[in-house]
């Protein structure tokens, strides 16, 4: 199986209207599909309670075929954003991180970290905010490629999702699982202070955490973060999806043989699938990943 690439990030939010004020109005994402979640779609996620939930699919104005989907779902009891295992953050390419920061401050969006140059490269200038479903949003001004990877420079105000971030019990186990599933390799491994994790868990700012990337040749797909021991499974409403970043979709050339599907793969006609065959798997921490062929 060759060339896995990100296709979508799906986020569950308590109010679709509030979420649209961020993703559509401030991030200027184009709404390409508005509908209720179908019964077959909800069944594929083993989330029958979401059938009929309000949903939108959005695409960056650049036309990049990488989508964001919002689904309305009430916050489950015990949900503390940033402290649970599973998909944790979406990393988006932006044209101007400083201007984005000013726009988000003016709108009252919760900020995790202001734009800051990285110590190891001047090709990335990121900031982080907290979205309406508790999801972390990494808004990264890409200024060029890195020695080991190619990164997308934004062609519009907010361009494509280019890395999905997960928080893990066991980083090594997660790396091994996705490499076996997708035929990827580890792009790099680091240990360093990480403000998003330290703020969420109330740790000292100097506390270091292990992280790694999952890559296909020079394209990074995922960031895999080793979470602190006090992290917990993400609470879910009965028959629903994880709140915040709920599902990450990956486009593949062929569905892997031997995968443990949540339900048998099926053809899905609605965006962002457009007639592709879709299979859903649970990762090591219960996170949902869709493979779209």
Query: Is the model's pLDDT at 2 over the cut of 80?
Result: no
Nearest to 153 by CA among 64, 88, 67: 64
Question: What pLDDT is attached to residue 142?
Answer: 85
Exposure string of 163-174, with b = 16+ CB inside 10 Å and e = fewer, is bbbbbbeebeeb
Q: 91-146: per-residue pLDDT in tens?
A: 999 999 999 999 999 999 999 999 998 766 667 899 999 999 999 999 999 886 66
Angle at 42 between CA 36 and CA 46, to 5 degrees: 160
CA angle 114, 118, 121 (to 5 degrees): 150
Ordered alpha helix ranges (H), the chain: 16-20, 39-44, 97-107, 171-182, 195-201
What does the pLDDT read at residue 1?
A: 45
Higher pLDDT, 27 or 144: 27
pLDDT of 143: 83
The pTM of this model reads 0.96
Residue 249: CA atoms inside 13 Å, Cβ hemisphere, count?
24
For residue 207, which phi and psi values (nearest 5 degrees)? -65, 125
| 147: its two tokens | 């020695």
Name every residue whose Cβ is closer than 8 Å to that of residue 41 and which is 6 or more positions away in sequence: 51, 268, 270
C-alpha distances in angstroms, 217 versus 180, 224, 275?
Answer: 15, 17, 28
């Amino acid at each position: 199986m060759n060339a896995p690439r990100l296709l979508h990030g799906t986020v569950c939010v308590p109010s679709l209207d509030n979420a649209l004020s961020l993703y559509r109005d401030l991030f200027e994402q184009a709404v390409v599909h508005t509908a209720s979640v179908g019964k077959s779609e909800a069944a594929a996620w083993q989330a029958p309670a979401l059938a009929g939930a309000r949903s939108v699919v959005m695409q960056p104005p650049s036309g990049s075929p990488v989508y964001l989907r919002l689904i309305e779902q009430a916050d489950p009891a015990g949900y503390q954003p940033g402290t649970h295992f599973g998909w944790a953050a979406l990393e988006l390419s932006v044209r101007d991180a400083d201007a984005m920061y000013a726009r988000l401050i003016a709108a009252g969006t919760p900020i995790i970290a202001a734009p800051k140059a990285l110590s190891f490269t001047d090709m990335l200038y990121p900031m982080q905010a907290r979205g309406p479903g508790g999801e972390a949003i990494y808004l990264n001004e890409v200024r060029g490629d890195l020695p080991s990877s190619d990164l997308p420079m934004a062609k519009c105000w907010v361009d494509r999702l280019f890395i999905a971030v997960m928080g893990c019990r066991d980083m090594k186990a997660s790396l091994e699982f996705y490499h076996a599933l997708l035929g990827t390799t580890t792009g790099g491994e680091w240990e360093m202070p990480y403000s998003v994790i330290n703020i969420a868990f109330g740790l000292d700012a100097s506390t270091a955490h292990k992280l790694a990337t999952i890559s296909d040749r020079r394209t990074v797909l995922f960031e895999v973060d080793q979470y602190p021991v006090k992290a917990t499974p993400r609470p879910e409403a009965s028959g629903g999806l994880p709140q915040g970043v709920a599902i990450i979709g990956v486009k593949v050339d062929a569905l892997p043989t031997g995968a443990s599907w949540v339900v048998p793969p099926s053809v899905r006609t609605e965006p962002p699938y457009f007639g592709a065959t879709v299979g859903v798997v649970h990762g090591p921490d219960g996170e949902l990943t869709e493979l779209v062929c």
